[in-house]
Amino acid sequence: MAKYVGILTAGGDSPGLNAAIRGIGKAALNKYNMDIVGFKDGFRGLVQNKIIPLESRQLSGILTLGGTILGTSRDKPHKMPIGSKVLDMTDVIVENYHKNHLDVLVCLGGGGTQKNAYRLMERGLNIITLPKTIDNDVAMTDVTFGFDTALGIATEAIDKLHSTASSHHRILVLEIMGHNAGWLALGAGISGGADVILLPEIPYNIETVADAICKRSRGGKHFSIVAVSEGAIPKKVAEELKKAENAKQNAKNKDEKKKASKEIKKIREKLSNHTMWVSEQLQKLCKIESRVTILGHLQRGGTPSAGDRLLATRLGTTAAKLIKNEEFGVMVASKGDKAEPVPLDKVVGKKKLVPIDHPWIRCAKEVGTCLGD
């Protein structure tokens, strides 16, 4: 039976990380009599041997804390800044894994962490991962911990914007995190009663959005709330991007590929300050004053919700059981009321985006929400 367990948290911080560390640690210590150590600041901590013993004292009182007691970073094992260079530190990680007599490394993180953990698994390390991210875009799991807390924060922000929007007869545009997945904006937009929700999965026409707001105004509703996912994209730009990406995929030589890559970069630059552009266009088209609120990292902070604490604890204790059974090379996924192991090779390289036929999309449309399509 595996006895020596290493844990690290990588990628962006997320509510529920400490609850997951606690779930793994307490089950491993109390039920399975294992030794647990944490590595500070993600994969970099494994390179630099920054070890924190995780005993009952360190695990006490952390359930309700946001962030992560281990610290985190976005460093990749195979592309890690060391001084003025970017080096492949995978061999060092493998060496330190064995020097520390680890039987398994548990990696808590989002899609990037799943990829990095998989690379270490391919080098022969025993790996188990847990899916965390406020974006809820990790494949093969119903939900990631961190999402529920961020959803509540974004929903509360929309609730608060209603009062000022109605008082000043304004359009209020709220940018919500999510990268290229619209789960947060869609869930918060529906829960908060946003009048418009713009998602990465549904390229939009700004004129369609303006028409919906103008129609509300003519009907006596003199304010509108627009929830914009940070990855939302206008239809025309989406078409340009798709064309450039196809050109890169079908490139016959390095010059053609380089040219297509430059075009993709140029198109993506159009999306910088995208939410400000949405606000300016709506003010111009609707003749209604428009203001922008960007939640940013507020969505990742604070006390984890009860839902995230439950989920993280459930996944963490399941991870301890999998370690006991020596079932490695898996991500612990949420499947209904259960937590189940999913082979890592089925997770990496995939993203869980909002399906166009998802029930949330349907109910948003049925209550009259404009999605810009």
Q: Do residues 116 and 43 lie in contact, with contact meaning Cβ atoms separated by under 8 Å?
A: yes
Classify residue 106 by burial, with Cβ atoms within 10 Å: 0-12, 13-18, 19+: buried
The per-residue b/e assignment along 41-63, b for 16 or more CB within 10 angstroms, e otherwise, is: bbbbbbbeebebebeeebbeebb
Q: Do residues 31 and 318 lie in contact, with contact meaning Cβ atoms separated by under 8 Å?
A: no
Phi then psi dihedrals of residue 53, to 5 deg? -60, 135
- Strands 338-343, 127-131: pairing kind: unpaired
Q: Do residues 127 and 139 lie in contact, with contact meaning Cβ atoms separated by under 8 Å?
A: no
Which is the catalytic residue, given 135, 148, 195, 308? 135
Nearest Cα to 42, choosing from 117, 147, 126? 117
Known active-site residue 135: yes
Rounded Cα distance, 117 and 129, in Å: 7
Annotated catalytic sites, by residue? 135
